[in-house]
Every structure is written in C-alpha cells, then in structure tokens.
Amino acid sequence: MPVLDAAVLQDACERDSLPWRVSVTAETGSTSDDLRAVALRGEPPGAVLFAESQTAGRGRRENRWITPPGRDLMLSLLLRPAAPPVLWPRVTTLAALAVCQAIERVLPLRPVIKWPNDIFLGRRKVSGLLAETLNGPEGLMLVLGIGLNVNTRVFPPGIASEATSLALELGDEVRMELDRHELALALLSALHSHLGRLDSGFSVALREARSRSLLLGRQIRAWQHGREVVGRALDLDEEGRLKLELPDGSLSLLDSAENVRQVY
C-alpha cells in the first residue's frame, strides 16, 4: 500500500506548470481545519494538503467521517480565485466537474454530479467536497476540501449501501491497488484548469454540469435552512443554483441544501 509522496507530487506539479505547493501528512483531524489554521497565520494561497488518514473530516451540516489510512484521497486546497468574491460560490460546481474529469482521465468510469457537492457512480457516492471562506492576513480566501474514495472496498454498515469507491466500481477489472499519485495529479491538474473558468467560462461549465446532473428531471427532497423542500429539479440557473418546481406549481431557487435525495 504505497504512501503518498509529497516530493513526487510537487515535482509533477512543477513539470506541468501547476501552481500548487503540496504537502502530505500521515494523519490529521481535518485537512481543511489545518489549512484554515495556517492561512490565519499568513499562509498564501496555493497550498495543498493531503492526509493519509483523516479522523474528523467535515461535510455539510458538520457531518463527520473517518477515512482508513492509505486507501483514498483526502485533500484540501487554499485558494484565492481571481474573480470577485460574489462569484466564488461557483467554485463548488467547477470543483465537482474537476473531480469528474480527473476520474475519467484515469479510469473508464462515468461519474455524475448530485447537486450541490457530491459525485456519484451509479447510485452511490464516491466523492464529496466543501468550500468555505475565511478572512486571514492574506485577505479573503477559500478552503476547498475534497474526499475521493479510491481503494476502500469495505465501508461501515451505516453507509455501505450508499458509498462506493473507484476500485469497487471497476470490480474484477482491477485487483491491484489503484495508483493514488496518478489520480491526485489528474485532480490537481483538472482543478487548476476548471477554476480558471470562474468568470467568462462558467456558462460553458454549466452546460457540462447539466449534462452530468443526477437530479435534473427528478423528484427530490432536501432540507434548506431547517425546512423540508420537495419538488422536481428543473434546471441549474446561471449561478449553478437549483431550480425546483414545487407541488403547487410554484418555483423555488435553492442556492444550497442539505441531505438532498431523490424521491423514488
């Protein structure tokens, strides 16, 4: 079970003219919390932290999860997008597209996006991401956390029916461990490319996001600001927000939501 090598990833980033400064830690509570801490001490944007094991990873609604050591990709990036901060919510859509592209660049799989921030293979989640703003000595920045299940084949009973990994989806086609270095570099490259579309290229990115949407055209149930919302997912608007048709025929626009699920 090869460990992630920061020097290998950094050399590859420099070779490919990627702007990232890569480090790897054996174990941490949360890579996003770690980057937030160094950002508040003056760390400039461009830092990337991978963890071999994460014991308190954070998702929406402060959901926590533990990752087994050496199996998956758990990372956070410290960003200052060039576009005005009012456009920064678009980062979630672009990062989701980057995860999809990275998977497809390396493996014969077709990931889809479950709005707002999950990546699915079939009906199971393979990746999730969370972008959070912070204001530090270097000014306003974003911490983008990403988890990608790569080689994990057994999940805890509570999530076993909902989670998957790249290795599981390949089935008998792959018996060896997937190369996490190759996947990590593909992801860092795709993120650099897609985050450059935050302003003028976002309309094209939205078309791609629509084509990958798991929810559009389906009945969904979600929680927003503490209340349940049920309706049919119609479209993504120009900012990537979800348009819903409610049971009474009225329309609702969701800028974010929790526990989004299809109603079968």
pLDDT of residue 174: 64
Query: With contact defined as beta carbons under 8 Å apart, do 142 and 80 qualify?
Result: yes
pLDDT of residue 61: 46
- What does the block give as tokens for 166? 């790249």
pLDDT of residue 90: 98
Q: Where are the domains of the chain?
A: 6-211, 219-262
pTM recorded for the entire structure: 0.94
| φ, ψ for residue 212, nearest 5 deg | -100, 5
pLDDT of residue 97: 99
Question: Within 13 Å, how many C-alpha atoms sit on residue 21's CB side?
Answer: 8
| 6-211: CATH, from 3.40.50.150, 3.40.640.10, 3.40.50.300, 3.30.930.10 | 3.30.930.10
Listing DSSP states for 221-244 in one string gives EEEETTEEEEEEEEEE-TTSPEEE
What fold characterizes domain 219-262?
SH3 type barrels. (2.30.30)
Length of the chain: 264
- Give the integer Cα–Cα distance in Å for 16 and 11: 9
**Core vs surface per residue 124-140: b (16+ CB within 10 A) or e:** bbbbbbbbeebebebee
pLDDT of residue 264: 66
| φ, ψ for residue 238, nearest 5 deg | -65, -15
Return the residue matching tokens 């989004």.
260
- Give the integer Cα–Cα distance in Å for 203 and 238: 7
pLDDT of residue 62: 47
pLDDT one digit per residue (tens) for the chain, 264 residues: 689 999 999 999 999 999 999 999 999 999 999 999 999 999 999 999 999 999 876 554 445 556 779 999 999 999 999 999 999 999 999 999 999 999 999 999 999 999 999 999 999 999 999 999 999 998 999 999 999 999 999 998 888 899 999 999 998 766 689 999 999 999 999 999 999 999 989 999 999 999 999 999 999 999 988 899 999 999 999 999 999 999 999 999 999 888 899 886
